[in-house]
Structure 1
Amino acid sequence: MQLLCASEQLAEGHSRAFNLAGQALFAVRRHGQVFVYRNRCPHKGIPLNWADDTFLDASASLIHCAQHGALFLIESGECVAGPCEGEQLQALACHEDSQGIWLSA
């Protein structure tokens, strides 16, 4: 298990990038739950964000690939619009406790 960050460092409706042992990840908090994904678009295998910690669309309701405009559901990582529709982001198991947000793998 690896600690990603303290819980208060990932606010509701926000995303945050992480780099663990050379592995690019990001986390999103939605409705109090944390979701962690590899920072890799299934369309071209490139990072989703164009700026640090910027992974969500303007409404903060979908994950947005800044490169090609693909949109992904926060809860499942499924692409619902764009060039990789029907594909999914690679989810990583995580949990949250009083110490913070942990990557389970």
Structure 2
Amino acid sequence: MSDGIRLCELSELARGPLGFDPFDDGQDTVFAVLKDGKVYAYTDICPHYGDTTLPWKKNAYLDHAEKHIVCAAHGALFTIEDGLCVSGPCRGQFLAAVPVTIKNNTVWLTESEAGENKR
């Protein structure tokens, strides 16, 4: 039984959020953020507009204060812990959470999620 798709070492997230291309789509489709010892992962799509990615450059997922996830295109702000939009055009909507597990200090996209999205 596989652990899923390997995203990164936990220590890599300590330096800041990271985007990943786990299904070889040619661009980051998932990102992960470490906050207070917990990893939060989401699809890299703003709920305001169905195909808009969040960062303005690679791995730029947080606002200047590093308190919220930010959509560079719309200025929307999302809580890190649950992906809730607290400011912007999609207020009240959520980023799509992606289940991850941590095993031996490695972050994995869970097997069920990997199987559902495999192309």
- TM > 0.5 between the two? yes
Q: Deviations over 1:53-83 (max 9, x none)?
A: 1000111110000001000000000100000
Q: Does 1:31 align with 2:33?
A: no
Q: CA deviation at 1:7?
A: 1.3
Q: Which amino acid aligns with 1:30?
A: K
Q: Write 1 or 2 for the structure with the bigger share of strand.
A: 1
Q: CA deviation at 1:99?
A: 4.4
- Structure with higher Rg: it is 2
Q: Give the SS at the match of 2:11.
A: helix
69, 72, 95: which one aligns with 1:66: 72
d(CA) in 2 for partners of 1:20, 1:93 = 13
Partner of 1:44: 49
Cα RMSD (Å) of the superposition?
A: 1.2
Q: Write 1 or 2 for the structure with the bigger share of helix.
A: 2
Where does the alignment leave 5 or more consecutive residues of structure 2 unmatched?
A: 114-119
4, 17, 20: which one aligns with 2:22: 20
Deviant stretches of 4+, over 6 Å: none
Give me the identity figure in percent. 38
TM-score (norm 1): 0.94
Q: Which amino acid aligns with 1:73?
A: T
Q: Which amino acid aligns with 2:7?
A: L
d(CA) in 1 for partners of 2:47, 2:104 = 33
TM-score (norm 2): 0.83
Q: Give the SS at the match of 1:91.
A: coil
Which segment is superposed worse, 59-68 or 17-26? 17-26
Where does the alignment leave 5 or more consecutive residues of structure 1 unmatched?
A: none
Q: How many residue pairs get matched?
A: 104
Q: Which amino acid aligns with 1:92?
A: V
